[in-house]
Amino acid sequence: MQRSAIIKDFEQLGQILLSASTEINEVMLQASKINNWFTKENSTLSFHAFGHLLTEKNLSEWLNHYPNLPVDNKNQKTIGLILAGNIPLVGFHDVLCVLIAGHKAMIKLSSQDNLLIRFVLEKLVSINPEWKDEIIFTDRLANFDAVIATGSNNTARYFDYYFGKYPHVIRKNRNSAAVLDGKESETELKNLCSDIFTYFGLGCRSVSKIYVPEDYNFSPLFDASYHFKEIDSHFKYKNNYDYNRTLLLMNKAEHLANEFLSIAENTSFQSPISVIYYEKYSDLNTLKHYLKENSNSLQCLVSSLEIENSIPFGSTQQPGLMDYADGVDIPKFLENLQ
């Protein structure tokens, strides 16, 4: 398929994702029943995020970075995809990369998101039936040429064992962090809270750890968090809040809390749902060095300070087509397959 035709098809798909059709609303409702974290609001957020990305301009500019894609049929490969399911459509970017590169996508869906991606790809086939031969859904990968697998640190060991002999990209746990200096504006703190609470904090791009000065006052951050107070009306989030707050109290762990968020001191990057970990720093340059050394554990770093590879508050959940999970350039990986 020619590049221009591929771009046209995905642009039409983007328009569908931005629509509020009865069919889309129905599949979102079904998905929310299977996975209660997939609220209609969160599914809509994901649909619209991809809808805004899939334009002729965005796709053309993206593909201009990869002059050898898409491949011709004689060099076409079958790429096994093991998708995550922590937030709606989280694996779609991998599928997009494979299909737009001219390869076949052999997809093992997560049980937590087995409706939305299937629905979106069915819409792609309805736009152009030629895509039907390029998409394979399977419960077990077989007869593939390369693998892109996303999971936890534990499943990564399993993936390494089974797929290590193939060309592969295997992702592990990552989290996102923020560095504050106490001079942030109310708007910046509100945007940081968006980075924290969007998708209930379940995504690798969700901020789960903050670094603050020794004398940091948490009150403005808590004040900003009340813009997201409605999150405590979701029963699973509320249950997690109650459970994790109880653990903090039982363990007599020093922490701060309101009705829906706890903030506790901890060196880990990964915090439980409804909890944000923090560490204090006395020297920013020392912290910068530490974060650089541990960059493989971080998906996003947000700050208003001059820190390498940091992004503005409020932008973690707005990745572009060039923002690759774990920083691995998937089209380049596909371009280099022989």
Find out whether the peptide bond into 312 is cis, omega within 30 degrees of 0: no
8 A C-beta contact, residue 242 and residue 262: no
The answer to whether the CB of 86 falls within 8 A of the CB of 203 is yes
The whole-number pLDDT of residue 185 equals 97
Q: How far apart (Å, rounded) are the C-alpha atoms in residues 210 and 303?
A: 10
Angle in degrees, 0-180, between the axes of helices 3-18 and 92-100, rounded to the nearest 10: 160
Structural contact between residues 110 and 85, judged by C-beta atoms closer than 8 angstroms:
yes
Q: Residue 210: enclosing H or E segment and its boundaries?
A: strand 207-213
Q: How far is CA 115 from the centre of its chain?
A: 18
Contact 88, 35 (CB under 8 A): no
Q: Using DSSP, how many helices (H) and how many strands (E) does the chain show?
A: 12, 11
Per-position pLDDT tens, the chain of length 338 = 899 999 999 999 999 999 989 999 999 999 999 999 999 999 999 999 999 999 999 999 999 999 999 998 889 999 999 999 999 999 999 999 999 999 999 999 999 999 999 999 999 999 999 999 999 999 999 999 999 999 888 898 899 999 999 999 999 899 999 999 999 999 999 999 999 999 999 999 999 999 999 999 999 999 999 999 999 999 999 999 999 999 999 999 999 999 999 999 999 999 999 999 999 999 999 999 999 999 999 999 999 999 999 999 999 999 999 999 999 999 999 999 97
Q: Decide: helix, strand or coil at residue 309.
A: coil
CA dist 141 and 106 (Å) reads: 7
Give, for 190, the enclosing helix (H) or strand (E): helix 186-197
With beta carbons less than 8 A apart as the criterion, state whether 46 and 17 touch.
no
The per-residue pLDDT for 176 is: 98
Distances from the Cα of 175 to the Cα of 139, 275, 297, 301, angstroms: 28, 13, 6, 9
Query: H or E stretch including 113?
Result: none
Cβ atoms within 10 Å of 99's Cβ, excluding its own: 22
Q: How far apart are CA 38 and CA 31, in angstroms?
A: 6
Tokens of 149: 């697998």
Q: Residue 125 has what pLDDT?
A: 98
Residue type present at position 9: D
**Calpha distance 135→13 (Å, rounded):** 15
Q: Would the CA dihedral through 320, 325, 329, 330 be positive or negative?
A: negative
Query: Are the CB atoms for 48 and 317 separated by under 8 Å?
Result: no
Residue 152 pLDDT: 87
What is the model's pLDDT at position 338? 72
Structure tokens at 47: 């649909």
CA distances to 44, 53, 81, 208, 336 from 141, rounded to whole Å, are 30, 29, 8, 33, 21
